């Protein structure tokens, strides 16, 4: 464990508080005109997903857990969870359905992801920023409709609903942002 001062805590850091691991969601430093500066840290307990809000004096020491970020390939999903393989050592790790959450819609077989591993256990996943998916269903193209600022609903091959420009039709491959499921551009392949 590494002790760091509270004011240097950043989003995405993993902290060890009373023997439990927490991932930092937000960290803000407040410097009031009078009084002690404080750091407000909102974090989520990794073991059960409970959100906690803590205040520390900016000079207070907090324990930062050592987390290793490594590339892994997504293999498959079954009743036990989602299985990933380290391409260098061929070691396999499993993440539960709850840990993956809404990101499961964007996982594709063979996809390379970054797993945060603490003491041999995968605690967080980072997907590529964009994925290419096919439009399964959308409204037909309306002749004469301009492409500026009007979007229509569409259903992607992974079942997720998104908004696409009017010129996009069913069967078209598009690039989608994994962060919020929004349309980026038409696929170039």
- Do 131 and 74 touch, CB atoms closer than 8 A? no
Q: What is the mean pLDDT of residues 182-187?
A: 89
Q: How high is the pLDDT of residue 97?
A: 82
How far is the C-alpha of 60 from the C-alpha of 62, rounded, in Å?
A: 7
Q: How high is the pLDDT of residue 144?
A: 63
Which residues make beta-bridge pairs with 105? none
What are the structure tokens assigned to 99, written together?
């840990």
pTM exceeding 0.85: no
The burial class, CB within 10 Å (0-12 / 13-18 / 19+), for 83 is: middle
pLDDT digits (tens, 9 = 90+) for 12-57: 788 888 888 888 888 899 988 888 899 999 988 887 778 899 999 9
How far is the C-alpha of 169 from the C-alpha of 135, rounded, in Å?
A: 7
How far is the C-alpha of 35 from the C-alpha of 31, rounded, in Å?
A: 8
Q: Which residues contact 87 (CB under 8 A, 6 or more apart)?
A: 71, 72, 73, 112
What are the structure tokens assigned to 184, written together?
């980026």
């Amino acid at each position: 464990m590494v002790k760091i001062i509270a004011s240097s805590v950043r989003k995405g850091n993993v902290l060890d508080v009373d023997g439990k691991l927490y991932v930092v969601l937000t960290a803000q430093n407040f410097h009031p005109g009078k009084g002690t500066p404080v750091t407000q840290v909102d974090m989520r307990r990794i073991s059960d997903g409970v959100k906690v809000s803590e205040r520390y004096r900016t000079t207070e020491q907090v324990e930062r857990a050592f987390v290793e970020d490594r590339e892994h390939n997504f293999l498959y999903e079954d009743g036990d969870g989602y299985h990933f393989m380290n391409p260098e050592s061929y070691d396999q790790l499993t993440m539960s359905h709850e840990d993956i959450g809404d990101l499961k819609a964007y996982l594709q077989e063979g996809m390379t992801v970054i797993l945060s591993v603490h003491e041999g256990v995968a605690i967080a996943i980072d997907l590529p920023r964009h994925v290419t998916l096919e439009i399964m269903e959308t409204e037909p193209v309306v002749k004469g409709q301009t492409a500026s600022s009007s979007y229509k609903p569409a259903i992607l091959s992974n079942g997720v609903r998104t908004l696409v420009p009017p010129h996009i039709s069913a069967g078209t491959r598009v690039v989608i942002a994994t962060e919020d499921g929004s349309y980026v551009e038409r696929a170039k392949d």
